[in-house]
Structure 1
Amino acid sequence: MEKKKILKNNILISVNKAWKVRATDNTLWKNQCTLAGFPTTTTPSSFNYNIESDDFFYQLYKHHYIVQNNWNKKLFTKHLFLGHRESITCIVGSELSNIFYSASFDKTIKVWEISSQTCLKTLEGHTEGVQCLALAQSTLASGSWDKSIIVYDLTDDYNIIRKLFGHTAGIISIEINSNETLLFSGSVDKTIRIWNINTGDCLHRLYGHDGTVGTLTLIPQSPFTDDQDNLYWLISGSNDTKIFVWDVDQSCLTQKTRSKKPQIVKRLEGHARAVTCLAWHKDIINQIIDHNQRHLDYSDPIHISTMPLLSSSSSSSSPQSNNEDNENDMDLDSHASPSNSCDQDNNDQDTNNVHENDSQDFHNSFHSRNSLLSTNTNNTVPSPPLSPNSDSMQLNDSEKPSITQPIFSASADSTIRMWDLSNGKQLLYANDHTDVVWQIQCNSSRLVSVSSDGFVRTRKWRCNHNHNENQQTGFDSLIIPGIKKCFKLSCPAITLTQVDRGVTCFKMTHEWLVCGTEDGVLIALKFVESQN
């Protein structure tokens, strides 16, 4: 009996050692990070762990899991930052950095170290309120109501590289391409301008919108690459309620071929009031592509369940938490948008005839924020939402999976909509807010929105690889053409926090959510700490 007992104990010890080695295996946990969408090549500044350690990726996964769980359970600490004297208009920052930048109507840009809650520097270059910011690896650009754009050098103590002049009214939106050679700007003068950052030359003026160009974003046309410098789409949203998709490639952005302008290839129509913001994330496309490939191969990925392993570190929830697995259905609308013809606007009219009175009223009354917006004269009302199980949303079994380019838009009509850029169809709309939705952002796992109603709301999204997962509660199926029930959004939207003032902008990173308000206060939600 004693021999058997010793043998049994030795077997248990051997098994326990094997499991311990397996449980902290770097290769396994690096793969787990990848499957979960956690970054592995760069780490957050809050994660201090020796990269040479045998369990580095286990600890990295655990860190990301705790943060993710805190997001899901609404576990965060709140911090207030005071510094701006007037309404905050824009916040930018990189995904894993401690540094954030905020712009304001007080004509300044402030540089914040968020972890220490310190203002490192105040940039004063504009003579009117600063409306928009664009951040690249080594440059920061700002657009202002003084009709100028300033480009700062992040590697040289924020020295001004150059100022760009040309717009005839305030600048509302700007974007910088990935190699920091081109800058795109949208204005109250209803035009988009494309600039060469290195020379300061205006390469093109794009016409087509009938109202202020309030939001811009760049998206690679090929979902298989992040290279935005060869072939990509410029997406613009306007007070005229329309979203335009411009076909842009490198050949039409060089001095030698300046006569070849980017053209409008799609018009996305559905919003009833001004389009205020656009958002997309490469992980949505990548996961859809991954799902398509697995669907064709009739195989599912191997992904071990890590919840029990890490639950002891982050299983608690706040009294106000909403478990996403116990939530009601959201409103979905799979109606296609109106016909999106490939119209091209070749009108080269001069913009000097802009109504200066309209621009001045726009500027002077911006503190109410609603002055940025124009209503649709047709009083278009969105179509009633369809049930998630509506027959019109179902696909034929013969349909083959196709690559979809999804993008989200927000509007003064208080809705958030999702579009398929590959065909111009509207995939859904959601009524998450009761007032103007000023900004939306999405990352590898969620969509966040802020509004004049003071609410900060979030939805989780994911692409399911296993058809059995479609039965899980807390998620509704959003059926994308050519893809059977692989894209899912949590429902309804979860309220992260509510403030007693309008929220005008925000920046979301993996560990922080920093919001700007109408009275100049920055509200930062920190999700890093383990909640016990």
Structure 2
Amino acid sequence: MTNINYLTKILKIINLIVLFTSINACSELKDKQLIQEKLNQSENTVTLNNSQKTTWNNIDIQTLSGHTDTIWSVAINAQKNLIASGSEDQTIKLWNLQTGKFVHTLIGHSSAVLSVSFSPDGEKLISSSKKGIIKVWEIDPKKNILTIKANEKAVRSLVYSPDGQKIVNSSWDNTIKIWNAETGQLIKTLTGHTKGIFAVAVSANNQKIASVSKDQTIKIWNLETGQLIRSIVGHDDNIRTVAISPDNKIIATGSADKTIKLWEIETGELIKTLSDHSQYLNSISFNS
């Protein structure tokens, strides 16, 4: 059982960035004091919120407009001072993190861009599409350097391993795939989910993958071997997003049941349920 003092400390020092689809501001985590710096995705815009207040209060510091259709994913690159956004309009746009100024449009996908993620060193960006394509982009110069035909169905999410050597993706065909980040060679395919997989996360110690699915389960895998470690149940609807805390001890999941749940990664035990939201959770992240 997680020590209550440890959990209290975690809740005070870790900021959850909560992103919704089809709304212009995030709901408050009212008495948790978890949110300090926020990035929000909406229909066709990205909104930067840098207030030091602990609740949203509808403070809109800057709205970045340029996409012509729904934005599915955003990512931050602190090293290069960039935001990347992936959209239904089949493009990825890069923005200056501090000023919000438009920087560049990456063109190459022939279907909606569902997920974007920067490499740990900030030098590369990966993206995935509804047609099952993964693309690797160099940040300087801004060009596509690798294309992977990952799946016949949509690649819903993808992320680099913390060491930058692997790409992990989830798909609508119920599988997780692990790729060599340099060559694009398939390393492993993980099976066990019975419905499409919304999201994956990799632990900071490079040891575990967490995945969440329409089948309402959370699964923990060994990154190196691909072995399933455990399956966790507890949400009442499909689970759309997952994150692992920087200390590798806690998993956070967000669901269409309008709750965030915190779990012990080693035991699968439920620690806490946060249930202040009025709409489904589309994305969450820990702030290290």
**Alignment map for 1:258-407 (pairs within 5 Å):** 261-283=183-205, 405-407=207-209
Structure 2 CA distance for aligned equivalents of residues 85 and 270 of structure 1: 28
Structure 1 CA distance for aligned equivalents of residues 90 and 216 of structure 2: 29
2:274 aligned partner: 496
2:263 aligned partner: 459
1:90·1:506 contact (CA, 8 Å) conserved in 2?
Answer: no
1:154 aligned partner: 97
Query: Aligned match of 2:8 in 69, 74, 80?
Result: 69
The structure with the largest helix share of the pair is 1
The structure with the largest strand share of the pair is 2
CA displacement at 1:456 relative to structure 2: 1.4
1:89·1:505 contact (CA, 8 Å) conserved in 2?
Answer: no
Number of matched pairs:
265
Query: Aligned match of 1:128 in 61, 65, 69?
Result: 69
| Shift in CA distance, 97/449, structure 1 to aligned 2, threshold 3 Å | closer
CA displacement at 1:70 relative to structure 2: 6.0
Q: Report the 3-state secondary structure (helix = DSSP H, G, I; strand = E; otherwise coil) of the residue aligned with 1:115.
A: coil
Matched, 1:113 2:50: yes
Q: One-letter code of the match for 1:119?
A: D
Structure 2 CA distance for aligned equivalents of residues 407 and 175 of structure 1: 16
| Shift in CA distance, 420/88, structure 1 to aligned 2, threshold 3 Å | farther
Q: Report the 3-state secondary structure (helix = DSSP H, G, I; strand = E; otherwise coil) of the residue aligned with 2:156.
A: strand
Matched, 1:195 2:137: yes
1:429 aligned partner: 231
Structure 1 CA distance for aligned equivalents of residues 157 and 25 of structure 2: 13
Q: One-letter code of the match for 1:246?
A: W
Matched, 1:103 2:46: no
CA displacement at 1:141 relative to structure 2: 0.3
CA displacement at 1:498 relative to structure 2: 4.7
CA displacement at 1:114 relative to structure 2: 4.3
CA displacement at 1:88 relative to structure 2: 6.5
Q: Report the 3-state secondary structure (helix = DSSP H, G, I; strand = E; otherwise coil) of the residue aligned with 1:119.
A: coil
Structure 1 CA distance for aligned equivalents of residues 24 and 217 of structure 2: 22
CA displacement at 1:132 relative to structure 2: 0.3
Q: Report the 3-state secondary structure (helix = DSSP H, G, I; strand = E; otherwise coil) of the residue aligned with 1:429.
A: strand
Q: One-letter code of the match for 1:243?
A: I
| Shift in CA distance, 412/406, structure 1 to aligned 2, threshold 3 Å | same
Structure 2 CA distance for aligned equivalents of residues 123 and 146 of structure 1: 15
2:131·2:151 contact (CA, 8 Å) conserved in 1?
Answer: no
Q: One-letter code of the match for 1:158?
A: G
Structure 2 CA distance for aligned equivalents of residues 99 and 268 of structure 1: 35
| Shift in CA distance, 71/203, structure 1 to aligned 2, threshold 3 Å | closer
Q: One-letter code of the match for 2:50?
A: E
RMSD: 2.8
Query: Aligned match of 2:175 in 223, 242, 256?
Result: 242
2:21·2:282 contact (CA, 8 Å) conserved in 1?
Answer: no
2:41·2:47 contact (CA, 8 Å) conserved in 1?
Answer: yes
2:241·2:281 contact (CA, 8 Å) conserved in 1?
Answer: no
Q: One-letter code of the match for 2:258?
A: G
| Shift in CA distance, 458/176, structure 1 to aligned 2, threshold 3 Å | same
Larger Rg: 1
Structure 1 CA distance for aligned equivalents of residues 194 and 21 of structure 2: 33
Tell me the percent identity: 22
1:440 aligned partner: 242
Structure 2 CA distance for aligned equivalents of residues 419 and 212 of structure 1: 21
Structure 2 CA distance for aligned equivalents of residues 502 and 408 of structure 1: 20
CA displacement at 1:113 relative to structure 2: 2.3
| Shift in CA distance, 85/434, structure 1 to aligned 2, threshold 3 Å | closer
Structure 1 CA distance for aligned equivalents of residues 261 and 121 of structure 2: 33
Cα deviation, 1:480-504, whole Å, max 9, x if unaligned, reads xxxxxxxx32524531225343222
Structure 1 CA distance for aligned equivalents of residues 167 and 21 of structure 2: 34
1:30 aligned partner: none
Q: Report the 3-state secondary structure (helix = DSSP H, G, I; strand = E; otherwise coil) of the residue aligned with 2:153.
A: coil
Q: Report the 3-state secondary structure (helix = DSSP H, G, I; strand = E; otherwise coil) of the residue aligned with 2:52.
A: coil
| Shift in CA distance, 67/142, structure 1 to aligned 2, threshold 3 Å | farther
| Shift in CA distance, 263/452, structure 1 to aligned 2, threshold 3 Å | same
Runs of 4+ that moved beyond 6 A: 88-91
1:470 aligned partner: none
1:432·1:493 contact (CA, 8 Å) conserved in 2?
Answer: no
| Shift in CA distance, 432/456, structure 1 to aligned 2, threshold 3 Å | same
2:169·2:176 contact (CA, 8 Å) conserved in 1?
Answer: yes
Structure 1 CA distance for aligned equivalents of residues 69 and 7 of structure 2: 40
Provide the TM-score with structure 2 as the length reference: 0.83
Unaligned runs of 5+ in 2: 13-17, 28-33
Q: One-letter code of the match for 2:286?
A: M
1:90·1:132 contact (CA, 8 Å) conserved in 2?
Answer: no
Cα deviation, 1:122-159, whole Å, max 9, x if unaligned, reads 1101111111011111111000011110111224x122
Structure 1 CA distance for aligned equivalents of residues 108 and 221 of structure 2: 32
CA displacement at 1:506 relative to structure 2: 2.3
Query: Aligned match of 2:123 in 178, 181, 200?
Result: 181
CA displacement at 1:97 relative to structure 2: 9.2
